Each structure stands twice: as C-alpha cells, then as structure tokens.
C-alpha cells in the first residue's frame, strides 16, 4: 500500500505536470471508486476545472481546484497515478482517466479496485479525523509519549492508526520499530522515555530516507512517470521474512499483528528489553 513516502513522491512528481492545467475530460471505468458526489456529478463538475495545487495529507492526495473545491484521492493498496499521452489507450487496470489541456492525461491505475475519490468543498469532511503528520513541528517525543502512555495495544498497531499519526503504514512501522530496537507486540504504554525518543527519531529518519529514495516499489507502486521507487532496497526487515538481519544475522521473522504481516528481528527487537 502506498504510505507517506510513496504519496509524497507522487505529489512532488505530479506538481510540474498538472498544476496550472485544466481538466478537459473525465472517463470513469469503475464508478464505485467515487464516494462523493455521484460518479456522473463528479465527471460533470471536474470537467473544465483548473488544478491550482496538489498537496498530501496522510496517505491522501488533494487536488485544489480554481472553483475552491478539492478532488481527493486515496490510492489504497494498489493505486498509482500515471502521466500519459491523452490519446494513450488505457491499460486493463486503469479505473479513471483525467484528460488535461496540454495533451496529457492522468491515468488512475488500480488493479484491485480499492482506490477512492471525493470531490468536496470542505476538505475537512474527508481528512478531519486524521492524526498529526510525522514531520509536523508539533510531532515531538512528548506528543508520541502521550499517544502511547495509556494504550495497551501493540506499538505496531498504534503506529498504523491514522487517527493518531497520519501516513505510517505496515512497511515503515516495521522499519521504524527495528531502527528503535522495539518489539512490535510491546504494549504502547510499556515503552520507556528513552525508547519513545528512539522511536520518534527512527520514524522521521526512516520516512526521510524513503522519500529521498522515491518510495518503495514492493508490489504495485509506480511513480507518475512509470518509474519504480528504490526505498525497498534499503529495508532492513520489512518484506524480508527468512532473510538475515543486517545487524546480527538472525533470520527475520514474520508474524501477523491484527491480520497484518509484521517483520522484525527476534534478537535485535527482544520481547523483554534488556
């Protein structure tokens, strides 16, 4: 699933192609992806609109329009936005095409049909329940400690809760916990002050590095130009079950945490810290 680094990369690479461009046509091949308004109304209201900005909130992409409305896209598990020639024939898994006034188009590629779209005037109606961004100045070790302090849920689950921290998902939670040497099933409230500080630093470092590497193409993630990201080449534990830990050479273990695959080193991330 595209997480914060992937969506940030998509945003950055879309901006020079789409900001200032006018949408001249919308083709929807999977109308169920449109949550608000109806598919036919979204098509009519988007056509003719000028894109004035592209931003990110958590894992969501927000296209600001000249009308004051915003088109919001959640790529979910397998979605990508590709810049293509306007006359290019959509591939099998393209669910929507947004034609632009410069002879290009945005293709919403989504093999598993999990992606979602909104067209709203009030952006908060969609993003209002998201938690703090990891790079927000207010996201401090103290803030993270406050999130963890009274929670018995596994720290891996807490990191992925979008209403608490926006943008972190499976991959980067695993990587941050490994970097901080924290066992993923530890209850949030069991973390010490030193561990909280390590985890806070690790979250930012891991996300920073992944953004610099243009995201991780573990499965279906593609950048707008069709290129893949390279962040996964630097993964220490995520998606590396059975391979050797780069620190201690212990085999990486995979377990399910709330039905999500979770990877960790059983030696570097001990159940009971020393």
Catalytic positions? 2-3, 59, 260
Q: 37 burial class (0-12, 13-18, 19+ CB within 10 angstroms)?
A: middle
Taking the C-alpha atoms of residue 13 and residue 146, their distance in angstroms, rounded to an integer, is: 35
E strand spans, 121-192:
none
SS3 state at 135: coil
- Pairing between strand 70-74 and 80-85? unpaired
Q: Using omega within 30 degrees of 0 as the cis cutoff, is the peptide bond preceding 238 cis?
A: no
Within a 10 A sphere around the Cβ of 124, how many other Cβ atoms?
A: 9
Torsion of CA 165, 203, 114, 54, to 10 degrees: 80
């Amino acid at each position: 699933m595209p997480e914060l680094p992937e969506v940030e990369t998509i945003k950055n690479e879309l901006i020079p192609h789409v900001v200032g461009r006018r949408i001249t046509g919308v083709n929807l091949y999977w109308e169920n992806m449109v949550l608000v308004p109806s598919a036919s109304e979204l098509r009519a209201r988007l056509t003719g609109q000028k894109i004035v900005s592209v931003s990110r909130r958590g894992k969501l992409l927000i296209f600001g329009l000249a009308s004051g409305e915003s088109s919001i896209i959640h790529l979910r598990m397998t979605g990508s936005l590709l810049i293509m020639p306007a006359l290019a024939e959509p591939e099998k898994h393209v669910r929507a095409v947004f034609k632009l006034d410069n002879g290009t188009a945005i293709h919403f590629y989504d093999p598993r049909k999990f992606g979602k779209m909104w067209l709203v005037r009030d952006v908060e109606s969609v993003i209002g329940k998201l938690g703090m961004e990891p790079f927000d100045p207010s996201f401090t070790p103290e803030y993270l400690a406050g999130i963890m302090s009274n929670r018995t849920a596994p720290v891996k689950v807490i990191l992925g809760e979008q209403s608490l921290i926006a943008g972190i998902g499976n991959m980067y939670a695993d990587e941050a916990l490994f970097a901080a040497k924290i066992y993923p099933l530890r209850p949030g409230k069991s973390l010490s002050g030193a561990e909280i500080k390590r985890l806070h630093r690790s979250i930012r470092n891991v996300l920073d590095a992944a953004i610099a590497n243009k995201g991780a193409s573990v499965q279906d993630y593609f950048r707008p130009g069709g290129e893949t990201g390279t962040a996964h080449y630097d993964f220490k534990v995520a998606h590396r079950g059975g391979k050797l830990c780069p620190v201690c050479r212990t085999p990486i273990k995979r377990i399910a945490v709330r039905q999500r695959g979770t990877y960790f080193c059983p030696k570097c991330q001990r159940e009971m810290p020393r």
